[in-house]
């Protein structure tokens, strides 16, 4: 995920209901959208933006309540970097199964086949550092490292066992090759370089989008500058239904609230450390170090903060993963705040690609996508935080 610019303004985080004129007993989404400024308040009802939203919330540790808007698990959208969420947890599971911790270093004798892998990418990197890069600024090479570490068939066997048989992690990030089934051999080492485990080169099964059709848009601009007219086929791209991404996150933040078979196989100490890393802001990272001028708090946090360069309000906690690709902007987050009895799992995606051309880097992220998600997050939180 790459964000070239951010809006220069910020909006406060209101904790009371806006003067919307909407009665407190009105349907949930009517109240939420009424609390959002225009033009964002009318976007959810416009099919052009293909908006899907899922909100689960609870108060004072009670049961979770669910509110959904236009969910359609069979409609393709670009999962983008949200795919890094399950990949990261699957890697943690594998390392834990080896009896190791996040200091274990994963690497290869050869770079991955395709996908983003710059010349200065280290041959071996600790899982802790890979996770930090994934969740603070959403770098792509760590995903590609973990993709090859796990292997395509093992990834999908575990996802199916967890109850996500339709999830597809079938492409490296920024992969120019269409098939990504072959993964490199490598090793897991300790901090001193001692080999702790090995994994072979593997060739996995070819998988595709699990539902009927992944063709969309009016054209695709190839990297060589040639425009391919007509709907583009995304059946070989990564895909996770929005509800599944939220369930994966829910299984991390509240394991007891999901069926036993959906709980991640992590030691409690590793789960706690992973959640800490997932909540880390770029300026809080020590390895790597990210300049706040380039990576403000809202860089990879769309809800609440995505339209601002301001720092996250003290006490607000955001744990999750964002993604943007091909005009689709998505956020899957757990939100809570000190002094509040509210917990919220909020997931949404929005499509902002007015010309319908993919890969032309002409998307309305800054003017519509990020501000919409920021406003949505604030509106949901103020509705949930309002006195009953």
Half-sphere exposure of 263 (CA within 13 A, CB side): 12
Q: Which residues of 158-197 are buried (b: 16+ CB within 10 A; e: fewer)?
A: bbeebbbebbbbbbbbebeeeebbbbbebbbbeeeeeeeb
Q: How many domains does the chain have?
A: 2
Is 35 within 8 Å of 18 (Cβ atoms)?
yes
Phi, psi of 362, rounded to the nearest 5 degrees: -120, 80
**In-domain check, residue 279:** no
Residues 93 and 173 in one domain: yes
For 10-65, how does the pLDDT look when each residue is reduced to its tens digit (9 = 90+)?
A: 444 444 334 445 666 679 999 999 999 999 999 999 999 999 999 999 998 899 99
Residues 234 and 328 in one domain: no
- pTM assigned to the model: 0.94
Residues 167 and 151 in one domain: yes
**In-domain check, residue 273:** no
**In-domain check, residue 246:** no
Residues 110 and 213 in one domain: yes
Please identify, among 196, 225, 240, the residue that sits at the C-terminal boundary of a domain.
240
Residues 194 and 306 in one domain: no
3-state class (DSSP) for residue 220: strand
**In-domain check, residue 109:** yes
Residue with the larger pLDDT of the pair 295 and 9: 295
Residues 139 and 45 in one domain: no
Residues 83 and 214 in one domain: yes
Residues 67 and 83 in one domain: no
**In-domain check, residue 308:** yes
For 293-308, how does the pLDDT look when each residue is reduced to its tens digit (9 = 90+)?
A: 999 999 999 999 999 9
**In-domain check, residue 248:** no
For residue 11, the enclosing domain spans: 1-71+296-388
């Amino acid at each position: 995920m790459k964000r070239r610019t951010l809006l220069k303004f910020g909006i406060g985080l209101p904790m009371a209901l806006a003067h919307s004129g909407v009665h407190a007993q009105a349907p949930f989404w009517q109240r939420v959208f009424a609390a959002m400024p225009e033009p964002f308040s009318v976007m959810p009802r416009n099919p052009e933006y293909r908006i899907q939203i899922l909100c689960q919330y609870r108060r004072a540790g009670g049961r979770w309540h669910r509110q959904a808007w236009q969910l359609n698990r069979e409609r393709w959208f670009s999962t983008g970097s949200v795919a890094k969420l399950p990949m990261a947890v699957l890697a943690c599971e594998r390392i834990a199964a080896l009896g190791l911790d996040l200091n274990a270093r994963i690497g290869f004798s050869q770079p991955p086949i395709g996908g983003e892998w710059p010349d200065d990418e280290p041959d071996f990197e600790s899982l802790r550092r890979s996770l930090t890069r994934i969740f603070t600024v959403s770098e792509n090479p760590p995903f590609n490292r973990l993709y090859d570490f796990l292997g395509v068939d093992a990834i999908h066997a575990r996802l199916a066992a967890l109850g996500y048989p339709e999830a597809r992690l079938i492409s490296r990030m920024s992969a120019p090759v269409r098939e990504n089934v072959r993964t490199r051999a490598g090793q897991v080492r300790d901090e001193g370089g001692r080999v702790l485990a090995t994994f072979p080169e593997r060739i996995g099964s070819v998988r595709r989008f699990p539902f009927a059709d992944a063709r969309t848009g009016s054209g695709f601009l190839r990297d060589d500058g040639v425009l391919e007219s007509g709907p583009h086929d995304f059946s070989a791209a990564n895909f996770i239904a929005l509800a599944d991404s939220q369930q994966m996150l829910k299984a991390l933040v509240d394991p007891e609230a999901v069926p036993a078979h959906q709980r991640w196989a992590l030691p409690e100490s590793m789960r706690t450390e992973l959640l800490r890393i997932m909540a880390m802001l770029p300026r809080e990272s020590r390895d790597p170090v990210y300049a706040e001028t380039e990576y403000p708090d809202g860089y990879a946090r769309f809800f609440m903060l995505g339209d601002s360069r301001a720092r996250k309000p003290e006490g607000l906690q955001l744990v999750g993963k964002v993604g943007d690709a091909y005009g689709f902007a998505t956020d899957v987050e757990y939100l809570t705040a000190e002094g509040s009895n509210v917990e919220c799992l909020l997931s949404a995606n929005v499509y902002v690609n007015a010309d319908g051309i993919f890969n032309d880097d002409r998307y309305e992220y800054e003017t519509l996508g990020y501000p919409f998600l920021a406003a949505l997050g604030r509106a949901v939180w103020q509705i949930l935080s309002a006195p009953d």
